[in-house]
Amino acid sequence: MTEHFVTVARKDFLEPGELTYVEVDDEPVCLINLDGELHALNDMCTHEEASLSDGTIDGDEIECPLHGGAFNIRTGDPTSFPVAVATEKYAVRIVGDEVQVSVRK
C-alpha cells in the first residue's frame, strides 16, 4: 500500500502542548503538537479501549486517561505500565498551511 496523505488541519490549528482527535481513512488518530513538532499516533490505547486524545501530554509522553499507561509521542513505544504494546505512529507532513497525515505505509 502506498502513502495516502489526507489533510486534517491547518498548520496553526494546534499550539505546542495541544492535541486533538482526527480521522484519517477511517482510522482514529491522535494529532499532537510536541514543542512545535507535529506527531500522529493511533488514537486507541493498546491496553484497552480508551482514546489517547482524551489523555494528557507529560514531557514527550502521552498518558492514557483510563489507567495512566503512557506512550512515547515521538516513537509510539510504550513507556509506562500497564501499556506494553507500541501504538502505531503515522507520517505527518505540512503542505502549504495544511497538516496532512498518512495512515498507510
Cα separation of 30 and 18, whole Å?
11
Grid cell of 80 as nine digits: 509506562
Nearer to ligand FES, 32 or 83 (CB): 83
Q: What is the dihedral of CA 18, 52, 105, 15, to 10 degrees?
A: 0
Nearer to ligand FES, 14 or 78 (CB): 78
Exposure string for 24-40, b = 16+ CB within 10 A, e = fewer: beebbbbbbbbeeebbb
Write down the least CB distance from residue 87 to ligand FES, Å: 10
Nearer to ligand FES, 39 or 47 (CB): 47
Residues near ligand FES (CB under 6 A)? 45, 47-48, 50, 64, 66-67, 69, 82-83
Sign of CA dihedral 96, 99, 103, 105: positive
Write down the least CB distance from residue 84 to ligand FES, Å: 10
Write down the least CB distance from residue 66 to ligand FES, Å: 4
Write down the least CB distance from residue 60 to ligand FES, Å: 18
